[in-house]
Amino acid sequence: MAKDPLMPKHQGFPLGLPGTQWQYTIRRANPKVTPVTNWPRHRTMDQTVALADLGFMQALWQYFGTEPFERGNLDGERLCRLFGREVIAAERGFDPQSYFAKLKINEPLARKNFPEAFGEVKDEKSVAKGLKKKVRE
């Protein structure tokens, strides 16, 4: 009998925002799972933080749409920055420390807070180029 995976992996999901330190996925399960909680978003001097949030929201929308999804190998910090607002629990008895916890996009609020994330994008490199262009403006 095959051993159950410790963490579901979302094949084809972007790894992170190209050209920055910000990642969207993790490679392997960590015994000390980052609990998915609501982290405040503060304005910072580093604009790549906001761009990473936008890129992550865009990747979530393109990959999952309105369907509930498992946390899996999605980065805990990125999820925490959106959780409770644009990303919400999709099940009763939500376990914030489970890689199998179900989440979903709160589409009305996500469209309000990240309208650029819902445009048409061909691939993750075009996402990065569009976001970098926005920073220069």
pTM: 0.81
Is the residue at 38 inside a domain?
no
- Structurally, how many domains does the chain consist of? 1
Instruction: Give the max Cα distance, the chain.
Output: 56
**Cβ-based neighbours of 51, under 8 Å, separated by 6 or more:** 17, 20, 22, 131, 132, 134, 135
Residue 83: which pLDDT band, with cuts at 50, 70 and 90?
very high
Whether residue 135 has pLDDT greater than 90? no
Is the residue at 61 inside a domain?
yes
Domain boundaries, position 56: 45-69
Is the residue at 109 inside a domain?
no
Is the residue at 118 inside a domain?
no
Q: Give the residue, 127 or 27, on which the prediction is more confident.
A: 27
The helix or strand, by DSSP H or E, that contains position 133, with its residue range, turns out to be: helix 124-136
Q: Give the residue, 38 or 132, on which the prediction is more confident.
A: 38
Is the residue at 56 inside a domain?
yes
Tens digits of residue pLDDT in 86-98 = 999 999 999 999 9
How many Å apart are CA 48 and CA 80, to the nearest integer?
A: 17
Is the residue at 60 inside a domain?
yes
What is the DSSP code string of 97-122? T-TT-EEEE-HHHHHHH-GGGGS--S
